[in-house]
Structure formats: C-alpha cells, structure tokens
C-alpha cells in the first residue's frame, strides 16, 4: 500500500524527527524552570542501594530513541517495524522503572501488561502495554510470515500504537526523571 497521497505530511514528520527528536505529545515543548536548589549543596542526596538510577536513565533514553525510530518506520510505510519498536518502547520504559524501583530488570514472558503490573504501572498504562504485547517479533511471527507482516497492520493502526507507546513513555519519564 503506497503512502504517496500523504507524502508531504510524512516528509514533514521525518524532517521534524530528524531536527527536533521525539515528542511525547502533540503540544509544543514548554520551557522548564531550573530545579529548586537547597542552600546546603555540600551534601548529595543519598540514593538507596537497591536503585539503579543511571541504568534507569540509560534504558529510558533507549526507549525514547526507539520512539523516534517507530515514527520514522511509520513514515517509511513499514508498519510492522513501527509497532515492533512501539513494543520495545513499552518494554524498555517499564524496565527503566524497574531499575529505578528495584535495582534490576523484572523477569517476564513478553506479556507487557504483566510487566506493567510488576513495576506498579497504573491500570491505564497496563492497558496500553497490553495493546502492544502482540507485536513482539517472536510471538507475531509464530503465526505470520515476515513478508506478510506489513500487510496486516495499516498506517492508522500503527499511528494508534504510536500513541499508546507515547503514553507509556510519558508515564515512565515522570517516574524516572523524578528520581
């Protein structure tokens, strides 16, 4: 299926991704105020030993990069690749929260809803994660030949899955960046 009828739209989106990076929603970025500092800056705040803040930040950054890649794949008309990246966004975002909260990745069997429950994601986030579970390549390709994958997911469906991945990423951003 050709995406030429929306060619200008996709070119503008690709250009925006390449120049501005991934966005978490459709609203323009807001200038952020500097963090409030305390007068006594000599002592650093202690981090509990069971948290991996650096690992969580690194994995969250990977999830954000995957979000940008999902949008590029959509623009290229590669719908399964797009939703596969959305699946990866959800997994990496939740695992970043796991690293922050527990100091380790949570074990699970590619059921993203179950992973969301393990990391105490809100129910609405768990529901968004459940929508993306079928797109783990191992599970998806068990019933679908790779050459047919893009034909089973249309552009509108892929856009919907991108919105789910963005919601999950926003939730994780609020958890991880508040650490």
List the chain domain ranges.
48-176
Mean pLDDT of all residues in the chain?
A: 80
CA distance 111 to 146: 21
Q: Tell whether the model's pLDDT for residue 86 goes beyond 70.
A: yes
Span 143-154, pLDDT tens digits: 888 788 878 899
4 versus 44: which is more confidently predicted?
44
Which pLDDT belongs to residue 136? 86
37 versus 178: which is more confidently predicted?
178
pTM of the model: 0.72
Pick the CATH number of 48-176 from 1.20.120.330, 3.90.1150.10, 1.10.240.10, 2.60.40.10: 1.20.120.330
Q: What number is the average pLDDT over the span 71-80?
A: 95
Q: Tell whether the model's pLDDT for residue 44 goes beyond 80.
A: no
């Amino acid at each position: 299926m050709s995406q030429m009828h929306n060619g200008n739209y996709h070119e503008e989106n690709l250009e925006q991704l390449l120049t501005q990076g991934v966005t978490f929603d459709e609203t323009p970025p807001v200038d952020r105020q500097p963090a409030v500092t305390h007068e006594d800056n000599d002592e650093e705040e202690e981090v509990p030993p069971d948290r991996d803040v650096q690992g969580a930040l690194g994995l969250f950054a990977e999830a954000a990069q995957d979000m940008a890649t999902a949008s590029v794949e959509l623009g290229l008309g590669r719908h399964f690749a797009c939703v596969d990246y959305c699946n990866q966004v959800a997994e990496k975002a939740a695992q970043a929260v796991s690293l922050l909260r527990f100091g380790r990745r949570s074990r699970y069997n590619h059921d993203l809803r179950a992973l969301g429950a393990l990391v105490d994601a809100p129910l609405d986030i768990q529901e968004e994660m459940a929508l993306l579970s079928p797109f783990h390549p191992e599970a998806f390709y068990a019933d679908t030949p790779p050459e047919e994958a893009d034909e089973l997911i249309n552009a509108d469906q892929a856009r919907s899955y991108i919105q789910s991945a963005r919601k999950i990423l926003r939730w994780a951003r609020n958890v991880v960046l508040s650490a």
